[in-house]
Structures are given as C-alpha cells and as structure tokens.
Amino acid sequence: MAEIQAERTAAPPPVVFSERSRLVEGVRAYGLIVAMWLRSTMAYRASFVMTTVGNFVSTAFDFVTIMLMFAHVDVLGGFTLPEVALLYGTSATAFGLADLVLGSMDRLGRRVRDGTLDTLLVRPVPVLAQVAADRFALRRLGRITQGLLVLGYALVTLDIAWTPVKVLMLPMMVLSGAAIFGAVFVVGAAFQFYAQDASEVQNAFTYGGTTMLQYPPTVFAKDLVRGVTFVVPLAFVSWLPALYVLGRDYPLDLPRWVAGLPPVVAAGCWVLAGLAWRVGLRSYRSTGS
Amino acid sequence: MDDMDFIELDGVEKVFDVRRKTGFMRRERREVRAVDGISFRVPRGEMVGYIGPNGAGKSTTIKMLTGILTPSGGRLRVAGIDPSRERTKLAHRIGVVFGQRTTLWWDLPLRDSYRLMHRMYRIPDSRYRENLDRCVELLDLGALLEVPVRQLSLGQRMRGDIAAALLHDPEVLYLDEPTIGLDVISKAKVREFLRDLNAERSTTVLLTTHDLTDIEQLCKRVMVIDHGRLVYDGALAGLHEVGESERTLVVDLERELPPIELGSEPSVRVVKVEGPRQWLAFPASASAAPLVARIAAGYPLVDLSVREPDIESVIAKMYVSDPAL
C-alpha cells in the first residue's frame, strides 16, 4: 500500500499553448487533416488513379457537349467557340479550385445526422477547418486540369489585344471566382445545420452555377442574369471579367469597371459566409440536432 | 476553483424545441427538458459512474460538460472553465471517448492517428513519446501500432481510442459507454487501465455505462439520472438498497420438479419454472453461497448461474419503493 502511495504522482500541468489567431490555427489544422486524407487515399493507389481519370473524363464531357453544339452552329448567343472556351475555362478552373479545397463540406449534413460532428467539436481547432478538410479528395484535380486545358486552348486560339490589365484579369478572375464559389460552399454547409439534406440546394448553386457560367450570358433570360449578378454573385466569377478581356458588351448595361470588382465581391461573400457559419454552428450547439 | 469543485453543476438545464411534422406543412412544437435542473460536484481525481436508461439525459450532460452543447440554464464549470464559452481552451484539458464513434483514421495505421493528435494538440515531443509509450504498454497496443485501424477488432479499437484521448494529458476523461460490445477480456483490460490511470495520475473520470460491473469495479460513487433529473448520488451498494434490487439464481435440476421450497427463507422466491430449470430471485445484498448450499442439499443440482440486476430494473425498483422520486 505504501508503495502505491509513493508511486502516486500529481497530474502533470496542462500543456501550455500560446493563443494564436483562429485563422492561422484553422489553416494549420486544415493542412494537418488534408495530409491525413492524402495518406488515406494513397492506401488505395489504383483506386485513386482510376477516380482521378474518371473525374477528368466526366467533366471533359461538358466541353465535348459544347463542341458538338458548335459543329452545327458557328456562333452561340453571338459568341464563337474560342470565346465560349474562355468563359468555360475560367469558370471550370475557378470552380475546380473551390471544389478541391472545400468541396467535401456537403458531408456536414451526414455528420450532423450520425452525430460524428461531436467528435470534431471536442478538439482544440476550429470546426470549419475540420469540416472543410473532411474527406479531402485529390482526384478533384481532374476537374482543374480539364478547366486549364480548355482555358489554354482559348488563349491560344483567341485573337485578343492584350493589355497589362487584361493579363492581370486572368489570375484575378480565377482566384476570386474560386473564393466566390468557396463562400457558396460554406453558406451551403451552414444551411445543413438546419436541414441535413440541403446539400442538393447548394449543388444547384455550385455545380449548377458553374455549368451556367460556361455559356455566354446572352443565351439566358434577363432575370436569370440579374439574379446571378446581384443575388448570388456568380456573374463575377467569369462572365464580367471575361467579357472585359474579350472586349464584349456586358449584360444588363453595367459599367465597364465592374470587371475589377470580383475580389471585392469575393471578400463580401466570405464575410457573409463566415456569419452564416457562426449562426449555423451556434444553432447546432443549442439544439444538438 | 479548488480541487473539491473540479466539475461543478448548479441547476443545469437543457431544453430542446422538438418540431414534429403533423401534416404537409403543419408542425407541432414541443419542449423537451432533456436535462432538468441537475446539480453536483466532482472533486479532482474522483471516478464517477453516470448511469440511467436510454434518453435519460446522460449524453446531453456529457455534451454540455465538453462544450458541445450550450446549456439553456444554470451554471456549469469544468476546471474553472465555462465549457460552452471556451470550448477550444477546454479541449486541451479534457479527453473524450465516445464508445460508438471512433476518432481513429480507418485506413491508416493506428500510429498515424496518434501523430495527428500530437500535432493538433501541440503536445511537446518528449511528453508525447512518454504518454504514447505508457499507453502502448498498459493498453497492450505494441503489435497494433502499424496496423490499419479498419483491421482492428472492436476491443482493440476501443483501447486505441482511449489512448488517443489521453496523449495530451487531460485532467478529465469522459467515457461514453467504454465497454459496450467488448468481450470479457477486453472489458477487463480497459477497466484495469482506467483504474491505474486514476490511481497514478489522479485523472478525474466520468463514465456512462449500461454495465453495472463497470461501476462495481471502478467507481465508488454513482449518479443515476432519469427524465433529466438526478435521482441518486452515492455509493453503488446504497443504490441496491434503495432499489431493493434482486439478483437471480438460475438452477438446472436433474429432472422436472415442483418449484423449490426453502421454508425458512422468505426473501427467496421462485419466479419462473421451465422444465428442469428454475429461476429464483433473492436480494442483491445477500450472499448467494448459503442459498446454493441449501438447494444443493435438498435438490438434485446439475448446474447454476447467478445473474446481476441490470440498471433498468434497479431504477424501476427505485420508483416502486419510493414514489416521491
């Protein structure tokens, strides 16, 4: 008995950790979890190669559809094939990036249903980062590859009078576009705290949105164009900056300078997305369902 | 916070608004008080069993103690921290094992899950190695570290999960049904480990379980919750007295006989007869040995076994014996 008493030691003091900004903590945690998923994926190397190729092929069919259309007509809504390819390439690449980084967030609904979200809530890192990194799938590079190929084809075939602004416009629109789509993913995920099967609604805006942006705005009804400009600002992903690069008219008689707005719109979207996420998580923690 | 009030609950409540579909668009709103004014204190280093029937509010309490859920009312502190307000700060000081939900990575070797904990919790290298070595030794994980988690048995995975929850030296460990579905040997291993952990590190342990043997072997103190209220807080032996619970002696005789009669033993009664097998109920506080001896003396005994009362029946008896509860 005396021996046991002697062996009994006080619990060691808690691990000291410095308070870091939540953003830094979140990005770090995201990286850690993504690394785990990459290792998990590599446990099934053959399956990874197959799904990446499959992902590339299935998204490539989108563009094949457009090419088939152009086998019968020379212009679509006043746009030639290379011009449509520019719209397609920027939108597909932007969406591909967002899908790679945040695309698995629609699994949140399932985690809420089966209660596994609780295991994320007891860890010392932001939940948003953990949910965003959940089931990270490198196979989504297939979509980005395909988008970049189409974009490359457009840039080679198009005869554009390049200016420094137009050159800068390309990376700006792809990155801001990815950020806008990303914000939509986060809002969609936040909505799943309330309705666990809401991922279809979100898909309408993300997958549906990217398909729409791959066509020129002139083929759509005015109200729809108005909706994706002012309500869900997807028009800023590719339409407006791409039309600027092409030197074409904007829909809705918007002024020329709106082509420079995507970074501002993206920042605004992220503020809203962050708020939506906080409200959603708070609601989950007060209802637990 | 002093060590006597390591975990503090004062009139803690959790009310859910349950919406039920009653028609195509019509919904009915109903208030469910999952936890209805619970107060208790747990001193540092104590090991407490938290039991109750399904839906009694056990998990809801654990979720509030870990900061997952925000209480609707009352005051709650763990190590001086308000869990729902400072969830991530508290996360460094608590360990949680959800019996049914693993935190381990399915397709990766067990060791990889521990490496993630190491980095996610920013555990100093030396401390991490020390804790991992200790868990590996005591939980017998040495041969499993390089095995993908999906290939582990349920018992092995549970041991793996417990180790994962302890690498960052938590001061409190919450265990939700840690022995559910485990075989006898795994259960014994887990219990032995928890006893050592509590004795050597003074880790405070709060466990929910359906297995009264867990409580018997681990906890001096047991709390019973039902319908969101604390209905018992004390020693396990006292729970049996309060509930006047009974154990069951199952007796196999050589042949079919009329119900066993032990005239001088009024507290023992035959509750069921099925061919040569008979079921006898006797008070849980009494010893089975003299009873067995007397039956063996008077009847042709072939085989026998003793069944412990389950939590549900103990709690049911509590209500019968004291309707005021």
Kindly report the nearest CA distance between residue A185 and chain B, in angstroms.
Answer: 23
Contact by Cβ (8 Å): B303, B252: yes
Contact by Cβ (8 Å): B54, B20: no
Taking the C-alpha atoms of residue B71 and residue B51, their distance in angstroms, rounded to an integer, is 20
Q: How many CB atoms lie within 10 A of CB B297?
A: 8
- ipTM at complex level: 0.78
Kindly report the nearest CA distance between residue A111 and chain B, in angstroms.
Answer: 11
Contact by Cβ (8 Å): B1, B82: no
Question: Which residues 193-232 of chain B have a CB within 8 Å of chain A?
Answer: 199-203
Q: Of A112, A97, A179, which is closest to residue A142 (Cα–Cα)?
A: A97
Residue ranges per structural domain of chain A: 27-282
Between residues B114 and B260, which one has the greater pLDDT? B114
Kindly report the nearest CA distance between residue B240 and chain A, in angstroms.
Answer: 29
Q: Which residue of B has its CA nearest to A19?
A: B89
Pairing of strands B229-234, B221-226: antiparallel
Task: Suggest the residue from B6, B81, B116, B117 to mutate for an interface test with chain A (most A CBs closer than 10 A).
Answer: B116
Going through chain A in order, the beta strands assigned E by DSSP cover: none
Residues recorded for chain B: 325
- pLDDT at position B322 over 70: no
Chain A touched by B171 (CB under 8 Å): yes
Kindly report the nearest CA distance between residue A287 and chain B, in angstroms.
Answer: 6
Q: What angle do CA B2, B5, B11 make, to 5 degrees?
A: 140
- Mean per-residue pLDDT over chain B, rounded: 86
**For residue A2, what pLDDT is reported?**
42
Kindly report the nearest CA distance between residue A117 and chain B, in angstroms.
Answer: 9
Contacts of A116 in chain B (CB under 8 A): 101
Phi, psi of B15 (to 5 degrees): -110, 125
Contact by Cβ (8 Å): B1, B80: yes
- pLDDT at position B272 over 60: yes
- Residue ranges of chain A whose pLDDT lies below 70: 1-20, 196-199, 230, 288-289
Contacts of B22 (CB under 8 A, 6+ apart): B28
Q: Of A158, A29, A31, which is closest to residue A85 (Cα–Cα)?
A: A158
Kindly report the nearest CA distance between residue B143 and chain A, in angstroms.
Answer: 20
Judged by CB atoms closer than 8 Å, whether chains meet at B101 and A115 is answered as yes
Question: Which residues 50-79 of chain B have a CB within 8 Å of chain A?
Answer: 60, 63, 66-70, 72
**For residue A241, what pLDDT is reported?**
86
Q: Which residue of A has its CA nearest to B203?
A: A11
Nearest to B121 among A7, A124, A289 (CB): A124
Taking the C-alpha atoms of residue B68 and residue A122, their distance in angstroms, rounded to an integer, is 7
Beginning with the edge strand found earlier in the chain, give each strand of the sheet holding B301-307 in spatial order: B269-274, B277-283, B246-253, B301-307
Nearest to A124 among B16, B88, B105 (CB): B88
Contacts of A27 (CB under 8 A, 6+ apart): A129
Chain B touched by A36 (CB under 8 Å): yes
Judged by CB atoms closer than 8 Å, whether chains meet at A285 and B69 is answered as yes
Provide the Cα torsion B134, B136, B139, B145; round to 10°: 160
Taking the C-alpha atoms of residue B164 and residue B131, their distance in angstroms, rounded to an integer, is 10
Q: Which residue of B has its CA nearest to A117?
A: B68
Contacts of A121 in chain B (CB under 8 A): 66-68, 87
Task: Suggest the residue from A42, A110, A122, A135 to mutate for an interface test with chain B (most B CBs closer than 10 A).
Answer: A122
Phi/psi region, residue B314 (left: phi>0; alpha: psi -120 to 50; beta: rest), is alpha
Q: Which residue of A has its CA nearest to B14?
A: A286
Contacts of B62 in chain A (CB under 8 A): none
Chain B touched by A113 (CB under 8 Å): no
Taking the C-alpha atoms of residue B251 and residue B304, their distance in angstroms, rounded to an integer, is 5
Provide the Cα torsion B183, B186, B191, B193; round to 10°: -170
Average of per-residue pLDDT across B240-256? 80
**For residue A97, what pLDDT is reported?**
93
Taking the C-alpha atoms of residue B307 and residue B314, their distance in angstroms, rounded to an integer, is 13
Give me the helices (H) in B104-260, please: 110-120, 125-138, 154-166, 184-201, 212-218, 236-243
Q: Of B255, B198, B196, which is closest to residue B47 (Cα–Cα)?
A: B198
Taking the C-alpha atoms of residue A51 and residue A56, their distance in angstroms, rounded to an integer, is 8
Contacts of A125 in chain B (CB under 8 A): 88, 120
- pLDDT at position B212 over 90: no
Taking the C-alpha atoms of residue B33 and residue B172, their distance in angstroms, rounded to an integer, is 26
Hey, what are B217's tokens? Answer: 């072997």
Taking the C-alpha atoms of residue A58 and residue A55, their distance in angstroms, rounded to an integer, is 5
Contacts of A281 in chain B (CB under 8 A): none
B149 falls in which pLDDT band (50, 70, 90)?
A: very high
Kindly report the nearest CA distance between residue B117 and chain A, in angstroms.
Answer: 9
Instruction: State which amino acid sits at residue B288.
Output: A
Q: Which residue of A has its CA nearest to B60?
A: A288
Judged by CB atoms closer than 8 Å, whether chains meet at A15 and B122 is answered as yes
Hey, what are A264's tokens? Answer: 């501002």
Taking the C-alpha atoms of residue B114 and residue A128, their distance in angstroms, rounded to an integer, is 22
**For residue A275, what pLDDT is reported?**
94
Judged by CB atoms closer than 8 Å, whether chains meet at B120 and A115 is answered as no
Judged by CB atoms closer than 8 Å, whether chains meet at A12 and B169 is answered as yes
Per the listing, tokens 């993913």 go with: A185
Chain B touched by A77 (CB under 8 Å): no
Contacts of A118 in chain B (CB under 8 A): 63, 68, 98, 101
Coil, helix or strand at residue A186:
helix
- pLDDT at position B141 over 70: yes
Going through B22-110 in order, the beta strands assigned E by DSSP cover: 27-42, 47-51, 73-78, 94-98
Taking the C-alpha atoms of residue A188 and residue B223, their distance in angstroms, rounded to an integer, is 42
Task: Suggest the residue from A1, A7, A15, A281 to mutate for an interface test with chain B (most B CBs closer than 10 A).
Answer: A15
pTM equals 0.80
Contact by Cβ (8 Å): B33, B17: no
Contact by Cβ (8 Å): A166, A224: no
Task: Suggest the residue from B69, B167, B205 to mutate for an interface test with chain A (most A CBs closer than 10 A).
Answer: B69
Rounded percentage of chain B residues whose pLDDT exceeds 90:
42
Work out the end-to-end distance of chain B between its first and last CA atoms, rounded to an integer number of angstroms.
Answer: 32
**For residue B312, what pLDDT is reported?**
67
B144 falls in which pLDDT band (50, 70, 90)?
A: very high
Contact by Cβ (8 Å): A139, A57: no
Contacts of B94 in chain A (CB under 8 A): 122
**For residue A276, what pLDDT is reported?**
93
Could you tell me the CA-to-CA distances from B315 to A223, B228, B236, B240, B308 in Å, in that order?
64, 14, 12, 9, 14
**For residue B311, what pLDDT is reported?**
65
Hey, what are A179's tokens? Answer: 């950020």
Contact by Cβ (8 Å): B50, B58: yes
Could you tell me the CA-to-CA distances from B226 to B168, B245, B266 in Å, in that order?
33, 17, 32
Instruction: State which amino acid sits at residue A84.
Output: V
**For residue B2, what pLDDT is reported?**
67
Chain B touched by A127 (CB under 8 Å): no
Taking the C-alpha atoms of residue B121 and residue B125, their distance in angstroms, rounded to an integer, is 11
State the count of interchain CB pairs (< 8 A) between A and B.
98
Hey, what are A167's tokens? Answer: 């050159």
Taking the C-alpha atoms of residue A183 and residue A186, their distance in angstroms, rounded to an integer, is 5
